Amino acid sequence: MTTSTETENGIQNVKLGPVRFVPGITKWNAATVFYAGFFSIASTVFLSVFQGYIFTELLHIPQDEQGKLAGKLVAYSELVILCLIGVAGVISDKIGRRPVYVFGFVFLGIGYALYPLATSEDQLIMFRMVFALGVVGATSMLATVQADYPVERDRGKLVGTMGFLQAVGVVAVIFTLPKLPKQLTAGGMTPELAGQITLWIFAGICVINAVVLALGLKGGTPSNVAKREGFIPTLKRGIEAGKNPRVALSYVAAMVSRGDLSTVSTFFSLWVMQVGISKGMNSADALKAGAMFFVIVTVAATLWAPVVGILCDRMNRVTALCMAMTLATVGYLVAGFLPDPTSALMYPAAILLGMAEVNAVLAAQTLIGQEAPKEGRGSVIGVFGVCGGIGILAAGTAGGYLFDEWRPSAPFILMGAANFTLLLIALFVRFKAPGPMPQDVVREAGAH
């Protein structure tokens, strides 16, 4: 990745790779943002992938109770995130992005360090809420620095580059670290200690990331920060915007699509691991199998995302959402009714699942991006995010219950049904209030 400095209208802009950055951003600041993109999402996802091993080897939780606990942990974590995500933004406006981002990684590290020390469900919930503080700091600042750093015409390039780095980071972490318990136990270490050391190693990586960000990100407070609206006014304006049927559809799509993502991250590896253990695998081998299929899901989502972007820009956005919900319905139901997630059939199912989850998320984001009005746009996007959080809570709670009481693949069947319901709603909106084509929106924006 090359670096250079360009001068426009007497102002110097650092360029790193394909992206030009605003004046004041150095090449080290830019490189640090790319580094943060590589690790931020991977650092929040790894715990979910490793969760089945924690339940089995560290806490010795019976398999018929693991689904409910996984759902409960998601619910408590999401409540913390919903309550504090806005607070993190306000604090970052006052003291700067860097300290909030750094503390995010510090709390992620603390969460990983504490997790293997839990001796009860209550302690695990408490440690998960500490981990959630790290998620708030890391994910909120990841989005914020993406908005702060690039020049306007390269904003899409930065988002695309960061999306690629995030996917590569997830694949790299999930492909390597879940192999460590098997290697450690092969050397004579107990499965419990092997799991603890793996999590502590990743805790150390999070602390190293915090140091890198502290040294590399731009310091100081951002300039020209708009005044943030309170939660209640934001909620009211966002609800009023829901009178537009396409905005209302976007809100429902946020619930379902975020529930889709939560289901994959929370229950996929846990399901594969439980079936693997029931077939005679040890925990380390079962963890490795679950991680491998999770990597396939991630790679499929990464490769399919650009195709979704092209489709969403070339057809009616409600039509694109209908297509996304069709694929998501098929993807989640195929996975849900798969008899053996450790068989070769899981390879095409995992590919389909990855395509389905990213299609649903991007189609929903594209539609709300088109329909959110200029006046109150932040409020509408805020309510869209809240709806996504509600979807995560619902999918985690209901999915966890069904995981234990019905079948481990039940969360995927549940989301298949939810996606089908959303498809019916989207089809109704498509025929009654389809909205403009993307090119018409561009022409209208240009006219103004």
Q: Phi/psi at 120 (nearest 5 deg)?
A: -150, 165
Mean pLDDT of 382-387: 82
Mean pLDDT of 358-374: 82
Least confident of 59-73, 369-383, 418-432: 369-383
Task: Determine the residue type at 412.
Answer: F
280-to-248, 273, 276, 284 alpha-carbon distances in Å: 48, 11, 7, 12
Strand pairing category for 19-20 and 3-8: unpaired
Q: 10 Å Cβ neighbour count for 190?
A: 11
What is residue 443's predicted lDDT score, i.e. its pLDDT? Answer: 47
Query: What sign does the CA torsion over 241, 247, 252, 255 have?
Result: negative
- Residue 227: which pLDDT band, with cuts at 50, 70 and 90? low
Q: Phi/psi at 226 (nearest 5 deg)?
A: -70, 150
Q: Identify whether the C-beta of residue 216 lies closer than 8 Å to the C-beta of residue 31.
A: yes
Per-residue model confidence as pLDDT tens digits over 118-150:
888 899 999 999 999 999 999 888 878 877 788
d(CA 30, CA 34): 7
Mean pLDDT of 261-284: 90
Candidates 3.40.50.10860, 2.60.40.3670, 1.20.1250.20, 3.60.15.10; correct CATH number of 229-441?
1.20.1250.20
d(CA 49, CA 352): 19
Domain 13-220 has CATH 1.10.110.30: no
Task: Determine the residue type at 320.
Answer: A
Three-class DSSP category at 6? strand
Contacts of 354 (CB under 8 A, 6+ apart): 296, 297, 298, 299, 300, 301, 302, 304
Q: 10 Å Cβ neighbour count for 19?
A: 24
Least confident of 66-80, 84-98, 206-220: 84-98
d(CA 427, CA 129): 39
What is residue 11's predicted lDDT score, i.e. its pLDDT? Answer: 52
Q: Please report, to the nearest 10 degrees, the dihedral formed by the alpha carbons of residues 279, 116, 168, 67 taken in order.
A: 50
Per-residue model confidence as pLDDT tens digits over 60-80:
889 889 999 999 999 999 899
Q: Does pLDDT of 113 surpass 80?
A: yes
Q: Identify whether the C-beta of residue 171 lies closer than 8 Å to the C-beta of residue 298.
A: yes
Q: Does pLDDT of 282 surpass 70?
A: yes
**Topology alike, domains 13-220 and 229-441:** yes
Mean pLDDT of 248-257: 92
175-to-49, 53, 293 alpha-carbon distances in Å: 11, 15, 10
Mean pLDDT of 295-310: 86
Q: Where are the domains of the chain?
A: 13-220, 229-441
Per-residue model confidence as pLDDT tens digits over 181-191:
989 988 889 98
Place of tokens 């939780």: 61
